[in-house]
Amino acid sequence: MARIYGLETEYGLAHTADPEGRRIGPEEIARYLFRPVVEWGRSSNVFLPNGSRLYLDVGSHPEYATAECDDLRDLLTQDRAGEGLMIDLLDKAQTALEADGIGGRVHMVKNNTDAAGNSYGSHENFLIRRTLDFNRLTTVLLPFLVSRQLLVGAGAVIPRRSAFAPEEEADRSEMMFGLSARSDVMWEGLSSATTRSRPIINARDEPHADAEKYRRLHVIVGDSSMSTATSALKIGSAVLMLDLIEQGARIPENGLRHPVRDIRLVARDLTGQVVLERTDGTTTTPLGLLGDYRDRAQRIVESGEHSLGDDELAHYVIDLWTRMLTAVESQDFSSVDTEIDWVMKRTLIERSMQRGISDIADARIHRLDIAYHDITPATGLFPKLETGGMAKNLVPAGTAERAKTVPPESTRAAIRGEFVRAAHAARRDYTVDWVHLRLNDESGRAVALKDPFATTHPQAETLIAGL
């Protein structure tokens, strides 16, 4: 079976000024960052030759949306290529700032909250069949997404007591290490909103494909992952859950009675034993739920009836899922301490506190947390962990470098990438979105790529050949 999936990642920007220099804000950094993008594409919202979309989102957040993938290894590669493209832009911005006499260093972080507490997202997109009962899907999927942070959260220093309604404020008098800061900005289980009333699952029906056949599942609850192993488990487990649901597996259909409260409770319990109430009055735990889901997912991986593409990586997802459950149950994380973001971050924080920091709310711990997500080559912590063998990397550097210009070969991204490359080389004015290719000239020729699985399209090939 096959499925399309992709990631949208928003990045944070910051500037460390020289002692006597001027500090600039995200808006000014973004102008420097996107100067080469605008010069190349005459816009700060462009599609690239590798099939991806690069743009500046609300709040001066650079955002990279991967090309459509139908193979988990391709998606991991595309995501890492996006990091590489952002680093390239950051290097150019640093050079331009210095040329303009602005000292200090600009930073880019792949996380989900800034110093002011604002949240920005890492969104997962999955193509699902229109014939699937969407209400059943979300009912079954919500308990998984509430619990999944136990496996793949980024880790964060969060208030020990959180708010459960938008008008409330979390009690920040006491802080703790939790699984995710993202959980505290979720206010609904399912909604069509994304900011005002941020839901775990976004219900906006925008398939970017043939609407009679497909719809798009838009999950906005996840953390941005630094570790490619964590990304593999995050996306891989979600894809396997969708496979189970579409195949009609007899997964319990009783949802959680209080998903907004529960997602906060799970974030604050590193043992996976917090009690969650189902809508039928029965109770469960995150560890129990994830163990049941893993058992079911393992069967379809072993049968080959999955949509992860790469069988070897599919077995790795199950293996890491299993090791993580064992680690949580035993509280011995030595078997996953180079693969799971929150485990690696907690280890770094604990070591820092052992060296004399008594309060987890100390500013030095906050700086360490940010440094973990900093992709800036000179200052980022995670690249050093990978180089030192303390963080597993599933994407070779050469593969990620190639993916900065080459799209996945097994989806319509290959057609889009070829069109963008050819039209740009021919200096033709064009418009592209996820579905359409258009020449902005007197001919006005346009093509609609409604099938995201199609790697050939006669009309598109004719359009490209005529450039």
Known catalytic residue at 57: yes
Amino acid identity at 402: R
**Cβ-contact 2, 70 below 8 angstroms:** yes
Pick the catalytic residue: 18, 57, 71, 243? Answer: 57
CA dihedral 386, 314, 219, 211 (to 10 degrees): 130
Q: Does 434 belong to an annotated binding site? A: yes
Q: Does 405 belong to an annotated binding site? A: no
Q: Does 321 belong to an annotated binding site? A: no
Q: Does 55 belong to an annotated binding site? A: yes
How many angstroms separate the Cα of 220 from the Cα of each of 176, 224, 239, 347, 454? Answer: 24, 10, 15, 27, 27
Measured between alpha carbons, how far is 412 from 426 in angstroms, rounded to an integer?
21
Q: Does 282 belong to an annotated binding site? A: no
Closest-CA residue to 251 (of 303, 287, 283, 290): 290
Q: Does 329 belong to an annotated binding site? A: no
**Cβ-contact 162, 266 below 8 angstroms:** no
Neighbours of 285 (CB within 10 A): 18
Residues with Cβ within 8 Å of 290's Cβ and at least 6 positions away in sequence, in order, are 144, 147, 148, 150, 151, 272, 321, 325
Residues with Cβ within 8 Å of 27's Cβ and at least 6 positions away in sequence, in order, are 60
Buried b (16+ CB within 10 A) or exposed e, 52-70: bbbbbbebbbbbbbbbbbb
Residues with catalytic roles: 57
- The annotation places the binding site for ATP at 53, 66, 434
Report the binding-site residues for Mg(2+): 8, 55, 63
Q: Please state the residue numbers annotated as binding site.
A: 8, 53, 55, 63, 66, 434
